[in-house]
Amino acid sequence: MKQKLISKIKYLFPALFLAAPFLAYAQSQVSNGLQTSGLQGIFGTGGLNNSTSLSDLIVNGIRLMLMFAGAIAVVFVIIGGYQYLASGGNDEIAEKGKKTLLNAVIGIIIIVLAYVIINVIVNTLTSNSGYGF
């Protein structure tokens, strides 16, 4: 009985931890009556529907996918850290946790570089270069 309660609590606390930001209703920055934080700060109040051209839609879609991939990579950092810390002296599990952490960090680096490359390309093409992009 006690073991079942402990196992339920073990899964309840991470779920509450992940849901806490949504429950906080933290104040966001407002500029000209529009929220400028989170996804609205990146995509505007219309989301992907706010895209004025096909290139805007593609760039906004890529940015959204990169944010989703970044969130998944952060989850894998947490999983790898938990595996490494909870290995309890078991070398196989500790090595598995190290590999997960290393791969997640490499993934985050790739995601950040992809985001920077996309922004540089878009800013280069949209500056007064006459390409009409």
* pLDDT > 90 fraction of the chain, expressed in percent and rounded: 29
Confidence category of residue 133, pLDDT binned at 50, 70, 90: very low
* Cβ proximity of 48 and 64 under 8 Å: yes
* pLDDT > 70 fraction of the chain, expressed in percent and rounded: 57
Q: What is the dihedral of CA 103, 101, 77, 80, to 10 degrees?
A: 120
16-33: per-residue pLDDT in tens?
Answer: 666 666 555 555 555 555
SS3 annotation, 69-130: HHHHHHHHHHHHHHHHHCCCCCHHHHHHHHHHHHHHHHHHHHHHHHHHHHHHHHHHHHCCCC
Q: Is the pLDDT of residue 53 over 80?
A: no
With a threshold of 0.75, does the pTM exceed it? no
Tokens of 29: 């920055």
Higher per-residue confidence, 40 vs 73: 73
94-106: per-residue pLDDT in tens?
Answer: 999 999 999 999 9
Amino acid 12: pLDDT? 66
